[in-house]
């Protein structure tokens, strides 16, 4: 073995802080616990009903009873917050998303059931029209093919109140309509739901990473005359970051309690930007496409799923996210418990 007596004349040796596992943990700058994760759940009708999602290995659409079981398992691992998304049968979808204002719709029923059964959990509900729309858009579509911002906002505000009545702790407008946070806050307050929080999808980009999610909900824009082929007139341009600061300030002024960046990995700079801009909690959504990429690579033996997932989620937290919506929540929680010998 090669040996030398040469010693460099340097006073700072950063490697000293990496000498052992104990020291590395002692000086670790970012710690992401399972309590900082939110588990998305896709809800379907029926009982004992599980439909695997081909484009999201390991994920399924679940009937409410099975979703409740998943919540209980997650809570045992330290994951206590759940984001619910309804996967409706096409027969319940209309151009005006009427089912979204049904107080007994699938999402409201799921919210009531989970909150009644698990008092200590946090339920986050999606405020948008696309799960209920036969046209696949987050807003109402006028005859000329434009998305009607103001009329959509009126419906979103009503939807938020229905979700609060069902027991939602947090309502999360994901539509990117202008002015919806203020309208929702006013509607909630007037209905005496002053404690219901608003998690605004502040910087939701017109991303190519949503494909598997749209498979899960069958919520892609419809291929029909006078229906926009994409969502670029309301979701943000992936080339823009300063625009996120404008959206954030508007949401803050309108009464948002928390801000979200979606997707997470391609927009770590935006997470960091908003973290520097506000003291409000920042969320990030580790979206379906990000999840599916690691899953596919791991299945092919190209990546270590556990190591890559933990690295990805830690990087999102390092960028400034206070909590993360991720389909890997349960896996991460198990791995974290193993690493910490709990």
Three-state SS across 51-116?
EECCCCCCCEEEEHHHHHHHHHHHHHCCCCEEEEEECCCHHHCECCCHHHHCCCCHHHHHHHHHHH
What's the CA gap between 154 and 148, in Å, rounded?
11
Q: Which residue in the block uniquely carries the two structure tokens 């670029």?
A: 232
Longest dimension (CA), the chain: 81
Distance of CA 63 to the CA centre of its chain: 20
What's the CA gap between 61 and 203, in Å, rounded?
27
Cis status, amide bond into 263, omega within 30 of 0: yes
Strands (DSSP E) found in the chain: 37-44, 50-52, 60-63, 81-86, 122-127, 140-141, 147-148, 170-173, 197-204, 258-262, 282-286, 323-326
Number of H helices, E strands in the chain: 11, 12
SS3 211: helix
Cβ count within 10 A of residue 115: 16
Q: List Cα–Cα distances, 83 to 13, 79, 128, in angstroms.
A: 45, 12, 13
Active-site positions read 204, 262
Q: Which residue in the block uniquely carries the two structure tokens 């399924």?
A: 60
- Asked if 202 contacts 261 with a C-beta cutoff of 8 angstroms, the reply is yes
What angle, rounded to 10 degrees, do the helices at 64-76 and 106-117 form?
40
């Amino acid at each position: 073995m090669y040996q030398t007596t040469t010693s460099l004349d340097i006073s700072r040796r950063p490697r000293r802080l990496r000498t052992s596992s104990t020291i590395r943990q002692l000086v670790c700058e970012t710690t992401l616990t399972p309590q900082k994760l939110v588990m998305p759940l896709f809800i379907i009708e029926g009982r004992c009903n599980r439909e695997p999602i081909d484009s999201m290995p390991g994920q399924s659409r679940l009937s409410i009873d099975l979703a409740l079981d998943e919540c209980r398992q997650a809570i045992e691992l330290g994951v206590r917050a759940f984001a619910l998304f309804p996967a409706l049968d096409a027969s319940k979808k209309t151009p005006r998303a009427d089912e979204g204002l049904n107080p007994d719709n699938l999402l409201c029923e799921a919210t009531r059931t989970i909150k009644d059964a698990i008092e200590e959990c946090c339920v986050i509900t999606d405020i948008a029209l696309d799960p209920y729309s036969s046209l696949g858009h987050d807003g109402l579509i006028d005859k000329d093919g434009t998305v009607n911002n103001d009329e959509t906002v009126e419906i979103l505000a009503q939807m938020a109140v229905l979700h609060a009545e069902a027991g939602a702790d947090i309502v999360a407008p994901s539509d990117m309509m202008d002015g919806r946070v203020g309208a929702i806050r006013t509607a909630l307050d007037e209905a005496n739901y002053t404690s219901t929080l608003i998690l605004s999808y502040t910087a939701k980009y017109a991303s190519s990473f949503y494909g598997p999610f749209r498979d899960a909900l069958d919520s892609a824009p419809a291929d029909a005359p006078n229906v926009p082929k994409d969502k670029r007139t309301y979701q943000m341009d992936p080339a823009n970051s300063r625009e996120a600061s404008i959206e954030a300030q508007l949401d803050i002024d309108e009464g948002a309690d928390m801000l979200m960046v979606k997707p997470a990995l391609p927009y770590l700079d935006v997470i960091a930007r908003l973290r520097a801009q506000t003291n409000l909690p920042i969320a990030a959504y580790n979206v379906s496409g990000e999840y599916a990429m690691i899953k596919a690579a791991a299945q092919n033996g190209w990546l270590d799923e556990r190591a890559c997932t933990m690295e990805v989620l830690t990087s999102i937290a390092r960028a400034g996210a206070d909590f993360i919506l991720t389909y890997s929540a349960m896996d991460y929680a198990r791995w974290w418990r193993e690493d910490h010998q709990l």
